[in-house]
Amino acid sequence: MKKYNHFFDFLISHAKIYGFIFPSSEIYGGLNAIYDYGPYGVELKNNIKEFWWKSMTQLHENIVGLDSSILMHSDVWYASGHVDKFNELLIDNKDSKKRYRPEILIQEYVEKNFLDDPKKKEKTLSRLSQSLKKKDFLDIRVLIDELCICDPVFKTKNWTEIRHFNMMFEIKNEKNLFLRPETAQGIFSNFYNVIKSNRMKIPFGIAQIGKSFRNEIFARKFLFRMREFEQMEMQFFILPEEEIKWYEYWKNSRLKWHLELNLGDKKSYRLSDHDHLAHYASAGSDIEFHFPFGFKEIEGIHSRRDFDLKSHEFFSKKKLRVFELKKNYIPYVIETSLGLDRFFLAIFSSSLKKEKLENGTIRVVLKLPYYLSPVKAAIFPLVKKDGLPEIAKKIFNDIKICHRLIYDEKKSIGKLYRRQDAIGTPFCFTIDYDTIKTHTVTMRNRDSMKQKRIHVKEISKIIEKETGLKKILKKLSYSI
């Protein structure tokens, strides 16, 4: 069902050509919905992680970090409800032998075919929503027939009944051992260790970045829905009576964090309350971003109350509660869960631009926030002779200790600028004949393409000031 718009195809190709994202095991034909991060992709991803990590842990003195294992005791997944309830609906087409999620088939059909009839669209989506709520799968099946929805590839309506499908990957030959479908359970199972070792007091949070795995039937849209992906999650443990206060706090605080990134404009984001709650949640809200294929979730904020700790207490027979303020209780949990790859895609897609220049040519530029750019600055000699490369290399070697730089002399200056634009490098510094006489270089800005001369001594300071995380962290800083 691959049907991308023109820009999205261009984005996927740009990400590959410039070493951001490669299809996994491509030499063997690739693997559905699994991707690798190339040399610039991994730098950008690491910068995103650092930004999130510092925002969570460094800026909140009551949030600490964790890095728990991917494989966990099998009882974890019984206690968490994932073995019984982490299911998706599934429908097969008997002719194409392809699997689909019925609700997505209907949503996509409606988006495409009821464009001019908003009432019909709303009525159909509301019926779908009601049936999902009531778990009336028969009605969803009837809806597919009524709408005459065909298999997107084979164009036939030869559908099976709708059934459930567990999304966890089970490890072969290891009974009941699963690849984790969320990082959160590593946080819950270490709750007591963290309290004890770090003397944490309610309210406090535990943040973690790590891989998760889901056997997505409908994995697609590039990095949007993958089978192996990373999550940046934070569980915030609170007094039960403060649930609403902290739920609202984290919804607003996370939205503010996204808005400070300034991807697109304010209209690129919206908060949307969940219609269908995950089995562990008592309230849920998504931060949605306007991707090239429409508004979709990037981050979920959930109130999980005491669902997980209570269940782990029951299964493990270990006390997972606190004794504070003369009370002995299981804290409630507010969770913030941001998909790293999905967030990468949001940043990449909103930064990639094709600009028409005054001379009529098109330049492709990745206008990433400077502090996320994979490479902070490039150093070029104007020509490959007369000692200019030696001066440029000396400057490069002095500054590379502090910042991720590129030295390049392989092409003409114009072409070198274009390449740096395409990977999002904020500044280029060119060493020319005047450098020998005046110790100045030309500094060129990625976004404005304006050039000015600055002293060699200023290069490092400018990179630090303009491309470091300090400015944005200061804006986000919360006082004790």
Q: How far is the CB of 219 from ligand GAP (least distance, A)?
A: 6
Residue 341 touching ligand GAP (CB under 6 A) = yes
Q: Which residue stretch of 201-209, 331-339, 404-412, 468-476 sits at the interface with ligand GAP (rule: CB under 6 A)? A: 331-339
Q: How far is the CB of 183 from ligand GAP (least distance, A)?
A: 7
Question: CB of residue 106 vs ligand GAP: minimum separation in angstroms?
Answer: 20
Q: Which residue among 337, 351, 420, 425 contacts ligand GAP (CB under 6 A)?
A: 337
CB of 313 to ligand GAP, least distance (A): 19
- If one asks whether residue 52 binds ligand GAP (CB under 6 A), the answer comes out as no
235 sits near ligand GAP (criterion: CB under 6 A): no
- Closest distance of CB 469 from ligand GAP, Å: 22
Candidates 56, 110, 226, 395; binder of ligand GAP (CB under 6 A) is 226
The answer to the question of residue 330 lying near ligand GAP (CB under 6 A) is no
Give me the least distance between CB of 63 and ligand GAP, in Å please. 16
CB of 404 to ligand GAP, least distance (A): 26
User: Residue 214, interface with ligand GAP (CB under 6 A)?
Assistant: yes
Rounded to an integer, what distance in angstroms lies between the CA atom of residue 348 and that of residue 177?
35
Shorter beta-carbon distance to ligand GAP: residue 1 or 436: 1
CB of 284 to ligand GAP, least distance (A): 8
> Is position 298 an interface residue for ligand GAP (rule: CB under 6 A)?
yes
Nearer to ligand GAP, 307 or 417 (CB): 307
Q: Cβ 213 to ligand GAP, closest distance in Å?
A: 9
Site for ligand GAP in 169-188 (CB under 6 A): 182, 184
Q: Which residue has the tokens 């005046």?
A: 438
Figure out which of the listed residues 14, 251, 321, 342 binds ligand GAP, where binding follows CB under 6 A. 342
- Select from 180, 221, 225, 290 the one that contacts ligand GAP (CB under 6 A): 225
Q: What are 226's strand-pairing partners?
A: none
The residue within the footprint of ligand GAP, chosen from 300, 369, 374, 424 (CB under 6 A), is: 300
Among 95, 297, 408, 466, binds ligand GAP (CB under 6 A): 297
Alpha carbon distance 70, 173 (integer Å): 17
Residue nearest to ligand GAP (CB): 339
Q: Residue 417: what are its φ and ψ, rounded to 5°?
A: -60, -45
Q: How far apart are the C-alpha atoms of 13 and 22, rounded to whole Å?
A: 9
Residues within the interface to ligand GAP (CB under 6 A): 182, 184, 214, 216, 225-226, 229, 231, 233, 297-300, 335, 337-339, 341-342
